[in-house]
Amino acid sequence: MLDFADVNWIRDDGRADHGPWAPCVIEHGGRWYFYFSAGPQHPTPSRIGVAVGPGPAGPFVDSGRPLLTGGEGFEAIDPMVFRDPATGTFYLYAGGSAGSKLRVFELAPDLVSLRKEEGVETPPRFTEGSFIHERGGIYHFTYSHGSYQRSSYSLHYATSASPLGPWTYRGAILVSDARHKGPGHHSIVRHPVSGKEYLVYHRWNAREGDGPYQGRRSVAIEELHYGDDGLLRPVTMTDEGPPADPLPPSGPR
């Protein structure tokens, strides 16, 4: 857990109220690093912070300063941290929404500060919600497009031979259907026993029309599949989700 009351820099923008969203948690060296967006985004710039704790649920202690601050057309939102298996380098992917701009930074070894910004292109139809994973030497960069309150919200996909691009756009892999609307802002996880990969995302269920929708979204999970070319196949949404995989012999950890 992280309480914004314990994050001293949160109030530096002069705003009375702040909201968190779109966190990312990673483990390294027996410590857990919690990256989070802090808003509002307007009229003051959004910011990304990082806190450190002993486990995935914390308690987390803030680093004492924002990791990244938005401005000049860039919104510092939706942090995603990725360790390149080829080099061991940690990268922070961030940005999106109104500016729809992607920025990538190499993290310093302490994982609570930035070493340098990498020059990357923003792939086609990028709005927000970056995620990247590597499989078979291909870096799969997936992200959300459109307005989260509308049926246009969808998940798109680009690939590269590098975690920094250049990107080859592969199209949409998750789009609205008759029952489920606006799927997106996701994570991808690999099961430690079966090796199967799963897409975890949110969507609007049982909505009519194209939006804007009101209320609360639902979290859903689907299994990912790849073609013979090593590329992700389009995802079909279900109500029941995939069957459960067995746990590792030692059980939950």
Cβ-contact 138, 230 below 8 angstroms = yes
The pLDDT tens digits for 51-80 are 999 999 999 999 999 999 998 888 999 999
Q: Where are the domains of the chain?
A: 4-120
List the one residue out of 232, 177, 169 whose CA is nearest residue 206. 177
Sorting pLDDT into bands at 50, 70 and 90, what band is 250?
low
The pLDDT tens digits for 101-146 are 999 999 999 999 999 999 999 999 999 999 999 999 999 999 999 9
Question: Which CATH class name applies to 4-120?
Answer: mainly beta
Percent of the chain with pLDDT over 90: 79
Sorting pLDDT into bands at 50, 70 and 90, what band is 247?
confident
List the one residue out of 152, 242, 165 whose CA is nearest residue 196. 242
Higher-scoring residue by pLDDT: 56, 251: 56
